[in-house]
Amino acid sequence: MNPVDIIVKKRDGYELTRQEIDFFVQGLTAGRIPDYQVAAWAMAVYFRGMTDRETTNLTLSMAASGDQFDLHDVLPPGTVIVDKHSSGGVGDKTTLAVGPIVAACGLPVGKMSGRGLSFTGGTIDKLESIPGWSAELTEEQFRHQLRTIGLVVAAQTTNLAPADKVLYPLRDVTGTVPSLPLIASSIMSKKLAAGADAIVLDVKCGHGAFMETLDEARALSRLMVAIGNLAGRKSTALITQMEQPLGQAVGNALEVKEAIDTLRGAGPADFQELVETVAGEMLLIAGAAHTAGEAQQRVTTAIQSGAALQKFAAFVAAQGGDAGVVDDPTLLPAAPVRVTVPAKKEGFVHAIDARAIGLTVVALGGGRQKKGEAIDPRVGVMVAAKVGDRVRRDSTLCTVHAADAAAADAVIERLQDAYTIGMEPVAALPIVLDRITGDR
């Protein structure tokens, strides 16, 4: 086969065969196909798109480009391995609470997660704010913990879907990042390679997410669900609101504390609802519950009995962390300076620019603009007023947690500007906007 023929075929709008896709993915991974040809192919895909079958074949080829995990040999026969993926958002600490709940219900959860970049935080960064906790596990340690604890979250291995590691940077510099087939295959290739039998996708929608409109989120959700089902994995997508920060905490240690509160059933209402909904969906898709009502009852029991919180403590300890943070959150890193941000006028909160909040936390040192930058786990923003809330002039919109007073003072006006306050009452924002299954 010839890379040029494959580029021309896609440029002209024809469907690529599995063999052609395999050849191209293997070539780009091994470096046999030069960057300029990969970039030309990506641009052809951007303009011409791909069919569901074509995108599934691309996903399978990318998953097969490196390590593929089969964890069934360490679990009882017939065990369904379930995973979740969030497309990323501001204040999204969902995995930290959902994982322990689902594991406490008897479903093993083994996740490979990443670090944050730009305005969205990373699961690994949040967990590393727990003293001693480590994401660096060998495959044997990963397997042992999955078998004995039922919950493990580790850093993504260097050889998991390496084709994506070649393709994504080229997409980033050639204007082809927004291609739905390339987005979906990037996400799903890593999920398939990690060995999940069933996948719940939490697709964020709004200004604080990469998919800003409901139509965009639905299109991506339908494509990823189709890929999962065509690849033989049960898949469902929940489209969830990201027009404002999720919960109240934005910042690594602050989000860990909020996740712990949520495992006690005392989290912010929107985050508590999302966590319990995603956990229930994972039980349903894995066959651990037959109805939505049964799934929600099991989730409620895991929280109220303390089983989910105990599972989180066991998971933290197994990866070297100080499980004492569960009972004493003061063991988490804390910023030395806290400054409240006052409302400029009286009225009702009409909107909060979630992306602006996330970028403010980055500016405080709680996130990174490029890979490898150190982050400060102490800093962040605690959101007090959410959409629909009434505020008075000088009442607290949010609280800045900063390394020093100068850093806090520098972001106050920026945070005030992130709020839109009007005189007319508005409703609180819903958290779950849609549910996409293989049937629609």
Whether residue 231 lies inside any domain: the answer is: yes
At 78 the pLDDT is 83
Give the confidence band of 371 by pLDDT, cuts at 50, 70, 90.
low
Tokens of 376: 């400060």
Residues 204-217 have pLDDT tens digits of 998 877 788 999 99
Is 190 assigned a catalytic role? Answer: yes
pLDDT of residue 53: 93
Answer whether residue 62 is part of any domain: no
**For the segment 324-370, what is each residue's pLDDT rounded down to a tens digit?**
999 999 999 999 999 999 999 999 999 999 989 999 999 999 987 66
Is 146's pLDDT higher than 60?
yes
Long-range pairs, 430-433, Cβ under 8 A, ≥24: 430/241, 431/240, 431/241, 431/270, 431/273, 431/274, 431/277, 432/238, 432/239, 432/240, 432/241, 432/273, 432/274, 432/277, 433/205, 433/214, 433/217, 433/239, 433/240, 433/241
CB 167 within 8 A of CB 24: no
Which is it for the CA torsion 139, 145, 146, 152, positive or negative?
A: negative
For residues 312 and 359, state if they share a domain: no
Among 85, 111, 115, 386, the one annotated catalytic: 85
Q: What is the pLDDT of residue 423?
A: 96
Residue 372 has pLDDT above 70, yes or no: no
314 in the same domain as 354: no
Q: Cβ neighbours of residue 31 under 8 Å, at least 6 residues apart?
A: none
Instruction: Report how many domains make up the chain.
Output: 3
Q: Is residue 234 within 8 Å of 228, Cβ to Cβ?
A: yes
Residues 111-142 as b or e (16 or more Cβ within 10 Å = b): bbbebbbebbbbbbbbbbbbeebebebeeeeb
The listed range with the strongest mean pLDDT (161-165, 166-170, 205-209, 287-291) is: 287-291
pLDDT value at position 370?
A: 63
Q: What is the pLDDT of residue 369?
A: 66
Q: Does residue 92 have a pLDDT over 80?
A: yes
Q: What percent of the chain has pLDDT over 70?
A: 96
Is 427 inside a domain boundary? no
Residue 93 has pLDDT above 80, yes or no: yes
91 half-sphere exposure, CB direction, 13 A CA radius: 31
Question: What was the pLDDT predicted at 439?
Answer: 64
Asked if 111 is an active-site residue, the reply is no
* Alpha helix positions (H), 107-161: 123-127, 139-148
Report d(CA 239, CA 218) in Å as an integer. 7
Find the catalytic residue in 190, 218, 355, 378: 190
Instruction: List all residues 6 or more positions away from 392 whose beta carbon is below 8 Å from its beta carbon.
Output: 343, 346
Instruction: Establish if 349 belongs to a structural domain.
Output: yes
- Mean pLDDT for 169-193 is 88
pLDDT in tens, 148-159: 999 999 987 768
**pLDDT the model gives residue 191:** 87
Active site residue 61: no
**Which of residues 274, 307, 327 is at a domain's end?**
327
In contact, 58 and 183? CB cutoff 8 Å: no
How many Å separate Cα 179 from the centre of its chain? 19
Tell whether 256 is covered by a domain.
yes
Same domain, 246 and 346: no
pLDDT of the residue at 150: 93
Q: What is the CATH number of the domain that holds 394?
A: 3.90.1170.30
Q: Edge-to-edge strands of the sheet including 234-241?
A: 82-86, 198-205, 234-241, 432-436
Query: Do residue 212 and residue 308 come from a single domain?
Result: yes
Instruction: Tell me how many degrees the CA angle 288-290-294 measures, rounded to the nearest 5.
Output: 85
Give the three-class secondary structure for 396.
strand
DSSP 11-67: HTTPPPPHHHHHHHHHHHHHT-S-HHHHHHHHHHHHHH---HHHHHHHHHHHHTTS-
| CB-CB contact of 240 with 84 (8 Å) | no
- CATH code, domain with 19: 1.20.970.10
Whether residues 255 and 386 share a domain: the answer is: no
**pLDDT in the model for residue 178:** 82
**Domain membership flag for residue 431:** no
Domain shared by 300 and 388, yes or no: no
By the 8 A CB rule, do 378 and 414 touch? Answer: no
Residue 440 clears pLDDT 60, i.e. is over it? no
* Residue 439 buriedness (CB in 10 A; 0-12 / 13-18 / 19+): exposed
Residue 261 annotated in active site? no
**Is the same domain home to 344 and 317?**
no
Q: Mean pLDDT, to the nearest integer, of 124-147?
A: 93
| Domain CATH for 107 | 3.40.1030.10
State the Cα–Cα distance between residues 341 and 352, nearest whole angstrom. 14
Catalytic residue among 61, 87, 129, 186: 186
Same domain, 7 and 124: no
229 lies in the same domain as 147 = yes
359 lies in the same domain as 410: yes
- Please give the DSSP secondary-structure letter assigned to residue 86: E
The span from the CA of 311 to the CA of 381, in Å, is 28
Reported confidence tier of residue 117, pLDDT bands at 50, 70, 90: low
Whether 344 is catalytic: no
Helix (H) or strand (E) holding 256: helix 252-263
Q: Which of 262, 294, 327 is the last residue of a domain?
A: 327
Confidence of residue 403 (pLDDT cuts 50, 70, 90): very high
Count of CA atoms in the C-beta half-sphere (13 A) of 179: 26
Question: What are the pLDDT digits (tens) for 248-302?
Answer: 999 999 999 999 999 999 999 999 999 999 999 999 999 999 999 999 999 999 9
Asked if residue 76 is part of any domain, the answer here is: yes
Active-site entry in 10, 126, 171, 386: 171
Q: Which residues pair with 356 in a beta bridge?
A: none
Q: Mean pLDDT in the chain?
A: 92
Q: Are residues 320 and 349 in the same domain?
A: no
Q: Residue 369: in which H helix or E strand, if any?
A: none
Evaluate the CA torsion angle 182, 183, 188, 190 in order and state its sign.
positive
> Is 311 domain-assigned?
yes
Q: Which helix (H) or strand (E) holds 214?
A: helix 214-230
How large is the average pLDDT for residues 405-413? 97
Angle ∠(292,298,304) on CA atoms, nearest 5: 130
Structure tokens at 170: 């080229």
Q: Once rounded to an integer, what is the mean pLDDT over residues 377-389?
A: 97
| Residues 136, 246 within the same domain | yes
Which residues constitute the domain of residue 358?
334-422
Give the tens place of pLDDT for each residue, 215-247.
999 999 999 999 999 999 999 999 999 999 999
pTM of the model: 0.90
Taking phi over 0 as left and psi of -120 to 50 as alpha, with beta for the rest, 224 belongs to alpha
Catalytic residue among 125, 164, 270, 376: 164
